[in-house]
């Protein structure tokens, strides 16, 4: 416990939704270097970041699945927030973080590659529809919050400004702890259109806090092919324990990408603009736990690569729920314990080895219905393929637990990962 109370660094991962950017009530110290809008990152470097993020996404899934119940998180958000901390890491701390997060590039190549990926994602959905009347949104925003009168290395602030668009917002964690917490939570709520509230609980920030790094991601898109609300009827959903629920089941018959494996079906639902999709992985009856146990990035990649056009009669439930996690122990078990101890080396932040991570917090929301998706997820309208195969339609009835991912199609970046064990659970 003494190590916790001696902590000098608090890192916050805010997974959420962004639509508007209201200024926080805090002074901002910015690097004099502007964000680089044309980063010198090769396509192979961006691909390496995407591959590493995917590997981390499903290794993290294997850790989080024991939580029980529905599950939803943004590996993209987590990777970005920790990349900002990684920019100040050295020695064993740096190596452990790189191994755990699958950062395979050197620091001078990694951050421009993250910047390039972010710029590409910011161009998605132009002219496309959202789940609501406001239009398509896929917005990612970063902010860092530092202790008043505490000195941070200019070179560290340069990296954050040039590659993550983040200035250092000044708060007084020591004398105005609760006000500082409220300021950060208000910023997160603003960036997520009120979907993520009270991300930082009381006690998470204290007088020893020196730095908080936040990332928020908001996705709102309409399906390319929306479900007809009049076709939604109550139907059975089978739980793992054998019980059966009656829940609203949406129905549509469209041409979409589909594949049948030895113990699963997979179907891809496009969002409006056809650049982002939801891939639903439906294990066969009685096979969910075995399928989930073996879920890794390579398997998901193979499934996606094998998707082919087919006429599909799709039945699936509406669902909406929240998830939240404290990731300190999880990330330590995954291989980066040094970052959370007094032996941590974040000397790149201050020039001294006086900081360590005290916690990593993550919170997410997802809502899926006939019109699209909102949350740490996507909402989009899916435009169908015009050609219709001669074969009879494939029946995909999602009446049992399933896994889903929301991915950027051009880059392959996985934005969100979720599991639905009970679609009626909040």
Domains located in the chain, CATH noted: 2-219+321-365 (3.30.497.10), 229-318+371-420 (2.30.39.10)
48: confidence class by pLDDT, cuts 50, 70, 90: very high
Average of pLDDT values for 152-166?
Answer: 90
- Predicted confidence at residue 24, as pLDDT, reads 39
Strand partners for 234: 248
SS3 state of residue 99: helix
Pairing of strands 211-222, 394-397: unpaired
Average of pLDDT values for 122-137?
Answer: 87
125: confidence class by pLDDT, cuts 50, 70, 90: confident
Q: Measured between alpha carbons, how far is 19 from 125 in angstroms, rounded to an integer?
A: 14
Average of pLDDT values for 237-243?
Answer: 91
- Is residue 400 within 8 A of residue 238, CB to CB? The reply is yes
* More reliable by pLDDT, 331 or 147: 331
Would you say residue 152 has pLDDT above 90? no
Average of pLDDT values for 309-313?
Answer: 92
Percent helix / strand / coil, the chain, rounded to 5: 30, 30, 40
Average of pLDDT values for 213-233?
Answer: 91
- Predicted confidence at residue 267, as pLDDT, reads 95
SS3 state of residue 217: strand
SS3 state of residue 64: helix
Please list, in sequence order, all residues whose beta carbon lies within 8 angstroms of the beta carbon of residue 337, skipping any fewer than 6 positions away. 96
The per-residue pLDDT for range 70-91, each reduced to its tens digit, is: 999 999 999 998 999 999 999 9
- Residue 44: exposed, middle, or buried by beta-carbon count in 10 A (0-12, 13-18, 19+)? exposed
201: confidence class by pLDDT, cuts 50, 70, 90: confident
Mean pLDDT check: name the lowest of 114-118, 198-202, 266-270, 345-349: 198-202
- Predicted confidence at residue 107, as pLDDT, reads 96
Mean pLDDT check: name the lowest of 115-119, 171-175, 244-248: 171-175
Average of pLDDT values for 2-9?
Answer: 36
Average of pLDDT values for 237-249?
Answer: 92
397: confidence class by pLDDT, cuts 50, 70, 90: confident
Smallest CA-to-CA distance from 10 within 85, 83, 78 is with 85
- Predicted confidence at residue 23, as pLDDT, reads 36
How confident is the prediction for the chain on average, in pLDDT? 84
Sheet-wide strand order for 168-171:
27-29, 168-171, 137-147, 211-222, 372-375, 361-368, 319-326
Strand partners for 52: none
Q: Measured between alpha carbons, how far is 62 from 368 in angstroms, rounded to an integer?
A: 24
Average of pLDDT values for 237-250?
Answer: 92
């Amino acid at each position: 416990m003494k190590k916790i109370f001696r902590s000098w660094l608090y890192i916050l991962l805010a997974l959420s939704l962004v639509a508007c950017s209201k200024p926080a009530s805090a002074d901002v110290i910015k690097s004099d270097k502007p964000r680089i809008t044309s980063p010198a990152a090769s396509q192979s470097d961006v691909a390496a970041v995407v591959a590493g993020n995917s590997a981390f996404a499903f290794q993290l899934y294997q850790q989080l699945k024991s939580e029980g119940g529905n599950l939803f998180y943004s590996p993209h958000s987590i990777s970005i927030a920790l990349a900002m901390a990684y920019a100040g890491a050295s020695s064993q701390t740096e190596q452990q973080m790189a191994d755990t997060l699958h950062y395979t590039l050197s620091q001078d190549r990694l951050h421009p590659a993250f910047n390039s990926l972010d710029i590409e994602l910011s161009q998605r959905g132009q002219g496309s529809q959202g789940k609501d009347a406001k239009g398509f949104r896929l917005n990612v925003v970063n902010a860092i919050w530092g202790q008043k009168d505490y000195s941070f290395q200019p070179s560290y602030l340069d990296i954050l400004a040039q590659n993550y668009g983040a200035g250092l917002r000044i708060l007084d964690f020591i004398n105005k702890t609760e006000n500082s917490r409220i300021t950060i939570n208000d910023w997160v709520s603003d960036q997520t259109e009120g979907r993520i509230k009270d991300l930082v609980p009381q006690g998470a920030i204290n007088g020893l806090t020196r730095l908080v790094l936040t990332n928020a991601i908001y996705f709102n898109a309409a399906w390319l092919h929306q479900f007809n609300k009049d076709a939604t009827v109550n139907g059975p959903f089978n739980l793992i324990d054998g019980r059966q629920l009656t829940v609203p089941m949406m129905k549509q018959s469209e041409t979409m990408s589909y594949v049948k494996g030895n113990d699963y079906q997979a179907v891809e639902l496009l969002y409006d603009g056809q650049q982002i999709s939801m891939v639903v992985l439906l294990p066969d009856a009685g096979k969910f736990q075995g399928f989930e146990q073996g879920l890794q990035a390579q398997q998901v990649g193979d499934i996606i690569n094998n998707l082919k056009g087919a006429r599909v009669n799709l039945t699936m439930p509406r669902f909406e729920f929240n998830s939240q996690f404290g990731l300190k122990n999880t990330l330590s078990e995954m291989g980066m314990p040094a970052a959370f101890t007094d032996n941590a080396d974040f000397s790149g932040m201050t020039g001294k080895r006086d900081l360590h991570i005290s916690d990593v917090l993550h919170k997410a929301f997802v809502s899926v219905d006939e019109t699209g998706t909102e949350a740490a997820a996507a909402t989009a309208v899916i435009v169908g393929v015009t050609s219709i195969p001669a074969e009879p339609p494939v029946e995909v009835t999602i009446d049992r637990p399933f896994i889903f991912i929301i991915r950027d199609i051009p880059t392959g970046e996985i934005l969100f990962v979720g599991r639905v064990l009970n679609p009626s659970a909040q």
